[in-house]
Amino acid sequence: MEKSEFFEKMLEAGQFSITEDGHALLFGEFVMLFPSGTVLKLIELLEKEVGETKASKIIFKLGEFQLEAAIKRYKKRYDIDKQDKRKILTFLFDILNILGWGYAKIDEISFEKKYAKITMKNSALPEKYLVTYKKKRKRPIDQYLLGWFSKTFFYMFEKEVRAKETKCMVCGDKYCEFDIKTKS
Ligand SMILES: [Zn+2]
């Protein structure tokens, strides 16, 4: 679905609202909006404190957590266990694509082979990184999205998956690319 169309439908259905007491609610959950620079700063501080590898794992786990928490909410709200998995997948991506990270597109998917490839042509974090630090970096930066994809496809395929960001704009690639395979 078109991003704007999806967002409008959500607004109409009251799924996103700002309350009188200063809360923003998305699907019944409090949400807080952070500028991309703040997210980037969090990554920078974490990397300084615990090193790049551990920081990556923490951010990855955060992405996993968000998806798990969302699934719990949708289970209560929409009884999604009874719905078609492809419909749920579209719904999850429709939501992800209005959160400001960029536009994620599933380029390849096989439920049979339990494999998926996702690309994001305009990931916000690398764009912000390149402007802020004025240099590329060796390590891909979209660990949060990677964690989110990892849990999404674990849920879709009902099997542990190995997720990897194989291309990242922050490393000089033209777009970000994420590979999801099951662990053999
Ligand atoms: Zn990336």
Q: What is the CATH number of the domain that holds 95?
A: 3.30.1380.20
Distance 120 CA to ligand 1 centre (A): 8
Distance 107 CA to ligand 1 centre (A): 16
* 27 & 40 share domain: no
Q: Pick from 140, 133, 131: which is nearest to 170 by CA? A: 140
* 178 & 124 share domain: yes
* 20 & 96 share domain: no
Distance 101 CA to ligand 1 centre (A): 10
Using a 10 angstrom Cβ sphere, with 0-12 exposed, 13-18 middle and 19 or more buried, the burial of residue 183 is exposed
* 51 & 93 share domain: yes
* 63 & 96 share domain: yes
Distance 8 CA to ligand 1 centre (A): 28
The answer to whether 75 touches 69, Cβ cutoff 8 Å, is no
* 54 & 29 share domain: no
pLDDT tens sequence for the chain (184 residues): 666 677 777 777 778 888 899 998 888 888 888 899 999 999 999 999 999 999 999 999 999 999 999 888 888 777 777 788 898 999 899 989 988 999 999 999 999 999 999 999 999 999 999 999 999 999 999 999 999 999 999 999 999 999 999 999 999 999 999 999 997 6
Give the domain range for residue 156.
36-182
Alpha-carbon distance 9 to 79, whole Å?
A: 20
